[in-house]
Amino acid sequence: MGIHLPPVLAFALRRLLQAVPVILLIMIGSFLLLKLTPGDTVDALVGDMGGADPAFVARLRAEYGLDQPVLVQMWRYLSKLAMFDFGWSYVYEQPVSTVLLDRLGTTLLLMASSLSIAFVCGVSLGAFAARRAYSLTDNVISTLGLVFYAMPSFFLALLMILLFSVKLGWLPVGGVATIGAFYTGWDKVADTAMHMVMPTMALSLIYLAFYMRLMRTSVLEVSDLDFVRTARAKGASPSRVMFHHIMRNALLPVVTLLGLQFSTVLGGSVVIETIFSLPGLGQLAYTSVVKRDLNTLLGIIFLCSIIVVIVNFLTDLVYAWLDRRIDLK
């Protein structure tokens, strides 16, 4: 007897089942890869402490279970993970889940604001440039895009700090909030927004350039297609042709890129979070590698694989919504 689920739910369920082996493979691969790097958490901790005697080191290693064979350690880790127990971070001396949840908000805020700005501005500038292809406006927009694209984000970030914080004193150098000010309500929101301006700009400009170039090409390509000519012949107004017929179809490749890039933004945020001392996942991932904080690092990898799987799923849904010919199978 077959149970008939609505197509979206059936699609979601199948995706979920497919995700399990993918994530399992990622976790096993990452675990083994990380074990190949020279040194473990204890070595890194002792390094930070400025040294320790052998008895202390041996005691710590036994305490953390690092004296066990690698496969035993992996089995222990995975069986805990299966119950969503991320283990303990020996660097932060807190459960990994606490460490991750503390940092997730900042990173999601940074990613969401950067990607929305990049997407909205990139798409509109790209479409605008395409409508006036090869004019002065188009050239200015395209050149700017190239500059943004070529500029490394850390360099842009430091330039912005120099200009807006050191010289002009308009924006704070880093952090997510004014420490010791203890703002509440709207003051707090405004304070956070002030702190996010530079990181968001630094992270979004490069992606903005991506979307702009892609949207411009895509709009130019779609404009020549038969259905656009048909729409014009029917007497649709230029704005209706642009928004309803051209842009909607031209958006497809941009949405693909958006979905794909969601994971690379996380990579880019490592640099931005470090420079602006934002306590996010990117910075955490970097410190975890340096300090060989295996549990935290694996927790981040796990969380990120889940985020990427979810975003891919959402991208597929958006596809289907943008282009009704695409079936959710």
Partner 1 sequence: MKTLKRGLAAATCAIATGAMPALAEEPQRGGTFVTHVVSDLGVLNPAMRASTAVYQITGKIMEPLIDLTKDGYVGVLATEWSASEDGKQITFKLRENVRWHDGQPFGCDDVAFTAMEFWKPILNYSSTLQANLESVECPDPLTAVFNYSKPMPLNLLVAAMPDLGHPVPKHLYEGTDLLRNPHNQAPIGTGPFKFAEYERGQYIIAVRNDDYWRGPEYPYLDRVIWRFIPDKAAAAAALEAGEVLASGFIGIPMEDMVRLGEDPRFKMGPEGYENNVAHSTIEFNLRNPILADLRVRQAIYHGLDTDFAIQAIMRGHGKAGRGPIPSTSSAFYTDDVPTYPYDKAKAEALLDEAGYPRGPDGVRFKLRHRAASWGEYTGLWGDYFAQAMREIGIQVEIVPSDATSFLTTVYRDHDFDTASGWHQYRSDPAVSTTVWLRSGAPAGTAWSNQFAYLSPEMDKLIDDAATELNPEARVALYHEMQKLEMTDLPVIFAIEHPFLGIHSVKLQNAYNTPRWESSSWYDLWIKE
**Sole binder of partner 1 in the list 34, 57, 133, 318 (CB under 8 A):** 57
Would you say 213 or 292 has its CB closer to partner 1? 292
CB atoms within 10 A of CB 218: 23
- Count of alpha carbons within 13 angstroms of residue 156, beta-carbon side: 19
Residue 127-166 contact track with partner 1, rule CB under 8 A, x = bound: -------------------------------x--xx--xx
Report the C-alpha gap between 303 and 298 in whole angstroms.
8
Number of residues engaging partner 1 in binding (CB under 8 A):
53
Enter the tokens of residue 190.
Answer: 């405004």
285 binds partner 1 (CB under 8 A): no
CB 142 within 8 A of CB 216: yes
DSSP one-letter code for 301: H
Q: Classify 185 in phi/psi space as left (phi over 0), alpha (psi -120 to 50) or beta.
A: left
Part of the chain binding partner 1 (CB under 8 A), chosen from 25-33, 94-102, 185-193, 201-209? 94-102
Would you say 135 or 277 has its CB closer to partner 1? 277
Q: Which of residues 26-45 bind partner 1 (CB under 8 A)?
A: 37-40, 43-44
Q: Which of residues 62-91 bind partner 1 (CB under 8 A)?
A: 63, 89-91
CB 28 within 8 A of CB 74: yes
Report the C-alpha gap between 219 and 319 in whole angstroms.
17
Cβ-proximal residues to 35 (8 Å cutoff; 6+ apart), any chain:
70, 73
Q: Which of residues 168-187 bind partner 1 (CB under 8 A)?
A: 169, 172-177, 179-180
Least distance to partner 1 from the beta carbon of 22, Å? 30
48 binds partner 1 (CB under 8 A): yes
Report the C-alpha gap between 280 and 308 in whole angstroms.
17
Least distance to partner 1 from the beta carbon of 107, Å? 11
Report the C-alpha gap between 165 and 275 in whole angstroms.
13
CB 316 within 8 A of CB 328: yes
Would you say 161 or 215 has its CB closer to partner 1? 161
DSSP one-letter code for 293: -
Would you say 92 or 119 has its CB closer to partner 1? 92
* Type of residue at 12: A
How many angstroms from the chain centroid is the CA of residue 313?
15
Least distance to partner 1 from the beta carbon of 33, Å? 15
Least distance to partner 1 from the beta carbon of 65, Å? 14
Task: Please provide residue 55's backbone torsions phi and psi, each rounded to the nearest 5 degrees.
Answer: -65, -40
282 binds partner 1 (CB under 8 A): no
Would you say 32 or 162 has its CB closer to partner 1? 162
Part of the chain binding partner 1 (CB under 8 A), chosen from 10-18, 50-58, 108-116, 219-227? 50-58
Binding site for partner 1 (CB under 8 A): 37-40, 43-44, 46-57, 63, 89-94, 99, 102-103, 158, 161-162, 165-166, 169, 172-177, 179-180, 274-277, 279, 283-284, 287, 290-292
